[in-house]
């Protein structure tokens, strides 16, 4: 994107990024669509501008930078650790009278083995850049941790299918509430073919697969164009298991109590320890990593007492694995100015040969411009 088309704030932001030992990078506006459709989450998938190549390949306008930056790193076979910075336009179908094209800038920190230090650096960098852009403005930072949530879900002893469902809903309070209602009062699966129900009741997997195969052959379904009989049987078994699983009253109370936690970050470790002790849950490893991040934040000069920890807080991107955070402006608008998190599995899913730990954040330049304009007492364009 030509530098002349960037917002006025971009120059200062890029200067701040360069001072933090980053490598400025750019990515094509047209991207292969599959990685975004597979890994970003439903909230973003619905807003992607789709197109296709002359050969029929599904393409899209760049809806965010994290995936393209990671794909570029893999393609270049670059070494780690490495910090990439970017500044450019992203494209998402507008909602709530918002804009479909806007500018983002950010840093992707790839390959840093000290997870706590890298997480702290991401939060500190985002905060410090915003403070430079908006001097004297009050900023509110909210932090969540998917790894802690996953540890709680595992400690409750739920079947793998339920764990996957709950973890997939992290950050979506309405969806989590619906899932917990189902766990409190499970509903039997209805509408199953009588023979299928019989095979499931008897635990006859071989018979079920044979029946599905016969049905697909008789109805003309091609296993090359749809799920295999084995996969369909596995999904039916999982659906049945989920339908009869319920949480006991104490376990459901524990999950609700965890999701209700909302405290200042300097008090969060003790609150989590007390929660684990009250409900007899072993989440020590996750809390240890959580506590190490708090110490790293303090060492980086961040006042952790000003950060809010909300146990139910997540961000609407499927690739996050640990830390998630957002920074907003205090005041009536409460404009969201920055967001980020940790995504340790993403590069492997994109084709990296070895696991590469990663964390990053993005700044919304258009919102920063509007906040600056409001601070100066003028109307933004």
Q: Is 64 annotated to bind ligand?
A: yes
- 309 labelled as ligand-binding? no
Strand 336-342 relative to strand 323-329, pairing: antiparallel
Which residues are CB-contacts of 242 (< 8 A; sequence separation ≥ 6)? 159, 161, 162, 165
- Burial class from Cβ neighbours inside 10 Å (0-12, 13-18, 19+) for residue 168 reads middle
Residues in the chain, overall count: 381
Does 65 count as an annotated binding residue? yes
Q: Quick one: residue 302, left, alpha or beta (phi over 0 = left, psi -120 to 50 = alpha)?
A: beta
Cα separation, 203 vs 207, in Å, equals 9
CA distances from 148 to 115, 124, 220, 296, 303 (A): 15, 21, 47, 18, 22
Residue 315 annotated as binding site: yes
Cβ-Cβ contacts under 8 Å for 314 (sequence gap 6 or more): 144, 146, 149, 170, 171, 172, 320, 324
146 among annotated binding-site residues: no
Q: Is 149 annotated as a binding residue?
A: no
Binding site annotation covers 367?
A: no
Q: Does 154 belong to an annotated binding site? A: no
CA distance 349 to 267: 35
| Number of CB atoms found within 10 A of residue 184's CB | 13
Q: What are phi and psi of 40, to 5 degrees?
A: -95, -25
Contact present, 107 and 20 (Cβ < 8 Å): yes
Radius of gyration of the chain (CA): 23
List all residues 6 or more positions away from 191 whose beta carbon is below 8 Å from its beta carbon: none
- Is 46 annotated as ligand-binding? no
- Binding positions: 64-66, 92, 104, 108, 315, 319-320
- Binding positions for L-histidine: 64-66, 92, 104, 108, 315, 319-320
């Amino acid at each position: 994107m030509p530098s002349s088309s960037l917002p006025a704030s971009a120059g200062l932001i890029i200067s701040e990024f360069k001072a933090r030992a980053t490598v400025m990078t750019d990515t094509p506006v047209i991207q292969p669509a599959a990685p975004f459709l597979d890994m970003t989450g439903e909230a973003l998938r619905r807003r992607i501008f789709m197109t296709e190549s002359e050969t029929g390949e599904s393409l899209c306008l760049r809806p965010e930078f994290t995936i393209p930056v990671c794909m570029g790193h893999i393609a270049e076979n670059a070494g780690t650790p490495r910090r990439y910075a970017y500044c450019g336009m992203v494209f998402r179908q507008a909602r709530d009278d918002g804009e479909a094209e806007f500018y983002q800038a950010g840093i992707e920190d790839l390959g840093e083995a000290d997870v706590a230090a890298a997480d702290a650096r991401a939060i500190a960098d985002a905060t410090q850049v915003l403070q430079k852009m908006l001097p004297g403005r009050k900023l509110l930072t909210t932090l969540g941790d998917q790894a802690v949530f996953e540890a709680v879900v595992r400690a409750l002893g739920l079947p793998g299918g339920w764990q996957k469902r709950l973890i997939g809903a992290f950050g979506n309070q309405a969806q989590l509430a619906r899932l917990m209602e189902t766990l409190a009062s499970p509903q039997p699966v209805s509408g199953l073919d009588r023979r299928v129900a019989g095979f499931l009741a008897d635990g006859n997997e071989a018979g079920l697969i044979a029946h599905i195969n016969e049905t697909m052959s008789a109805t003309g379904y091609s296993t090359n164009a749809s799920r295999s009989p084995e996969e369909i049987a596995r999904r039916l078994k999982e659906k049945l298991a989920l339908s009869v699983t319920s949480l006991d009253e104490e376990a459901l109370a524990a999950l609700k109590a965890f999701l209700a936690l909302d405290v200042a970050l300097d008090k969060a470790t003790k609150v989590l320890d007390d929660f684990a002790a009250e409900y007899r849950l072993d989440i020590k490893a996750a809390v240890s990593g959580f506590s190490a991040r708090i110490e790293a934040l303090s060492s980086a000069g961040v006042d952790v007492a000003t950060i809010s920890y909300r146990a139910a807080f997540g961000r609407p991107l499927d690739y996050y694995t640990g830390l998630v955070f957002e920074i907003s402006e205090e005041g009536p608008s409460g404009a969201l100015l920055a967001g980020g998190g940790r995504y340790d599995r993403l590069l492997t899913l994109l084709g990296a040969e070895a696991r590469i730990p990663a964390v990053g954040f993005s700044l919304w330049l258009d919102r920063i411009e509007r906040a600056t304009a409001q601070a100066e007492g003028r109307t933004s364009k």
